[in-house]
Structure 1
Amino acid sequence: MIKSRLSAATWALSVVAAGAMLVGCSASVSAGKSDPELSKAKLADTVAEKLAATTGQPKPDVTCPEDLVGKVGNTGRCTLTASDGSTLGVTVKVSSVQGSNINFGIKADEKPTPAAS
Structure 2
Amino acid sequence: MTLGRSSTALLSLSAAAVGLLLVGCSASVDVGAEPELSSGKLSDEVARQLAATTGQPKPDVACPEDLAGKVGTTTRCTLTAGDGSTLGVTVTVTSVKDEQIKFDIEADKTASPAPR
Residue 6 of structure 1: which of 13, 28, 33 is its match?
13
Structure 2 match to 1:71 = 70
Contact 1:79 / 1:87 at 8 angstroms: preserved in 2? yes
Cα RMSD for the two superposed structures: 1.7
**Contact conserved, 1:89 with 1:109, CA < 8 A, in 2?**
yes
Task: Give the Cα–Cα distance (whole angstroms) in 2 for the partners of residues 72 and 9 of structure 1.
Answer: 28
CA deviation profile, 1:48-84 (whole Å, cap 9, x unmatched) = 1111111112211101000000000000111100111
Q: How many residues align?
A: 108
Of 96-105 and 48-57, the range deviating more from structure 2: 48-57
2:28 corresponds to which of 11, 22, 25: 25
CA distance in 2, matches of 1:59, 1:25: 17
Q: Which of the pair is proportionally richer in helix? A: 2
Alpha-carbon offset, residue 103 of structure 1 = 0.4
Q: Counterparts in 2 of 1:26-45, with a 5 A limit?
A: 26-29=29-32, 36-45=35-44
Which residue identity does 1:22 align to in structure 2?
Answer: C
The equivalences for 1:91-110 within 5 A come to 91-110=90-109
Structure exhibiting the larger radius of gyration computed from Cα positions: 2
Separation of aligned partners in 2, 1:9 and 1:72: 28
Deviation, structure 1 residue 10 = 3.0
Aligned partners of 2:74 and 2:84: how far apart in 1? 25
SS at match of 2:42: helix
Structure 2 spans left out of the alignment, 5+ residues:
1-6
**TM-score, with length taken from structure 2:** 0.85
Q: In 2, are the aligned partners of 1:29 and 1:38 still within 8 Å (CA)?
A: no
